[in-house]
Structure 1
C-alpha cells in the first residue's frame, strides 16, 4: 500500500479513474483531520498532463493565466489547465479579467473557461466563458474556486490573464442604481430610441432590472421596433435575463417574442397601435444590453402567401418572380434567381468524384468560386456562399454568439485558410439578417444573410451559386466544401471537398441515426459507415448538387453528431424552404 499522504490545507480531492482493460480489487482509504504542523512544507503539486495544473493556498492576490500568455500570441492546442484556489474561511474569491480571447462557439463547446464555486467539478458551475469580449468579474459564494481552461486542436486565440483576490462577502455589492424601477416609460413621439441601462455597447447592464416601455401610436398606425444591437444572458427558454415585446398595451397583449443571448430579429411590427416592452435581469451574469429604435407608421399592405413583396412594398404574384421580366417596376423581383443562365457554373472545372473533407483531399483552387471564408478577428470561423454579388448566405449558428460587425470580414477567391491568395477579394459586412424563426436549441431555420459593403467583382475565381428550383432527390450525390477540421489527416488549411449522398429523412430520423432531431427544414447527407463528412469549421458553407450544367445550393452546413461517425449523417439547412425569404430580404435591403 502507498504511504500516508498529508494534505497541508483544509480541503482535498480524491480522483479514481479506470480504463477499459483489466480490473483489480480497488482500494479503501481512511482519512483523519489532524492539527497542522507549522514546520510542514507543502509538497510540489502534480502539474497535470499539460504542466499547468496548480493548487493555490491563498496568501495574497495573485494571477492565473494560460501557459505562456502573450497578448500578441495564442495558446496551445489540446490543453487542459486546472487552478484550484483555496481562500481563507469567511471570504469569497473574486476573479478579475485583464485579458481574454478564446475560440467562440455555440455554448462554448470547443475552447472554454469554466469557473466553479468550489474546488471540484461537482461544485456549482458559476460561468462558462468563450469568445473575445472581456468578461465581467466572477465571484464565488464559498471561500474556494476552481478555474478550468480547455482548448481543442482547431482554432485558438490569445488565452486569458486574470487576478484573483479574497474579499469579504459584504464587499460584493451592486452599486449601480437602475434608471427603471418597474414603472413604465410612456413613449408617444413618432420615433425614438430605447436603451438598456448603462448602454454603451461594452458595459454590462445592472442586475435585478425590471424595465418597461409603452409605445402609443394614433389609431390606424402601427409600430415598428428596430434592433440595432442586442445582447443578454443566454439561457434555454430565456428564463433569467430577457426582453419581451407585446402587441398591446401591457403584458396581456400578444407576445411577439421573448429574446435573450444574441439571437434577435432585424425588426418587429405590431398589428395594433400599441406596443409594450419589458426587460428583466436577474442577480447574475448579463450582457451589454440593447439599442432599439421605434417608428410609428402606416401599416403595410398585406401580401398573401402566394405573393411576393416588392421593394416598394406592393405585392405581385410569386409566380412572376424570376420570370425574366421586371414585374415590380424596380427590378427587385429579378435579383436572386436560379435560372439566370450564369450562376453555378465554375470557370475552373472541379473534381466531381468522391473525395473527403474529413480525410483531407483538397479541391482544385477556385473550382468552387462561391465559397467564402467568414473571419472573426482575422481567423476563419465559418463558411458561406455567394448568392448575389453583394450578398452571402451562411448559418445562423455561426453568428449567434458574435454579431459585432467591426471584427467580421468575408473573403472570396480563397484556397488557403490562413495564407493570402492571388485572386482573393475581401469585403466587410454592413448588415446581418438572421432568420426570425431561428431556434438555437433545435438549430432549426439555421440560415442568415450578410449584406456586404460593396459587391464582389465576379470573375473566374469569384462567382455566384444558383438557388435551387426543385428539391434534391434521396440518394443524389452532392458536394460539400470547407476549411474545417480534418481529424489529423492531410489537407489542413486548404479548401477541401467531399461527395455525400442525400439520406432519406425518415431513415435519418430513425433511432439508430439522428433519433428525430432532423426537422422538415433540414437535409441529411452522409454514409452509413461514416468516414467522410463536413466538420467543425465547415459550418455555414455550401452543400451543392448538380442540376444539368449548373450547381444548386441545396444545403448549408449546419450540425452533426461528431464528424464522420458511423450512422451519423450531417444535417444541412434545406435551402429550398427559404427561397422566397431570401429573395424578399435582398429586395427590401437595397
Structure 2
C-alpha cells in the first residue's frame, strides 16, 4: 500500500508496488510532521513501530535504486547502501550479464566511511576475482585499493561520504565475499610513496574522545617506513589513556608493532610487509599536541 497526498490529506493508494517492500527511508517519503496542523502532533505514524525514522533528504535509498531499476527495466547489478553503517555481500546481487561488474555505492550521511571485509574467498587457486574500491561515487574517482580473493583484506577509509565497490568476477571460478562499513570522523588511506600522517587538529591539541584509523598501503614486495618528527600524547602507565597503536599489517588483528604515548621525537617504525595500520585514541582528560609522521616505501627484496 502507498499513500498519495490530496489537498493536504494522505489517501491510501493500493497501486503497483513493484513487489518491493515499503520504504520509510525513501528520498520521496514525507516526514512524520508533514502537513501537521498542530505543532508537535505527527501527521504520519509508522506501523507497527511508531519510532522508526521516516523521510530523509540525503539521497536515494537502497530501495529507491532497486525500484528505479525495476520501473525502467535496468538489468544492471547495482546496489546502494545509505546510512551510518551497513553490511554487504556478494549474495546481495547477481550480474544479469556476465560482462557486467556488480557495483555497491556506500553513502554515509556525514563524516567518512571505514570499510572492512570479513571474507573474500574463491573456489580456485587460479582465481582472478577482485574488488576495486574507489574513493567517491564513480569509477572515475581515485582508486583506493584492489582487493583480491584469498589475499590480505585491509581496512580502508574514504576521504568523503561516498565509496564505490566494483566486483570483478570470472564465472569459471566462483567467488564470494562479505563485509561491513561504518562512519568515522577522522582517518585516511595512504597509497602514494611519500607522505605525512598527522593526528586531528595537528599542530593544535587533538580533541577529546577521538578514535582514528589510518592505513598505509605500499606495493607488493615493499615495506613501510614511518618517522615521527613530532609526538606528544598524554602520558600514562601502559599508555592506558591516550595512545597510538601501530600494527604490522592490514587490520586490527595484525601483530602489534607497538603502543606509544608521552613525549618522543624522531621515533622510527618499520613494517615487515606492505601494509601498516595506525589506531589513535584519546579520552576526555589531558590533550597533547598529537603526532606528525612522514612515511615512505622501501623495497623488501
TM-score interval w.r.t. the shorter chain? 0.3 to 0.5
TM-score of the two chains, using structure 2 as the length reference: 0.44
Q: With the length of structure 1 as denominator, give the TM-score of the two structures.
A: 0.23
Select the structure of larger CA radius of gyration: 1
> Which structure carries more strand by proportion?
2
Greater relative contact order: 1 or 2 (C-alpha under 8 angstroms, separation 6 or more)?
2
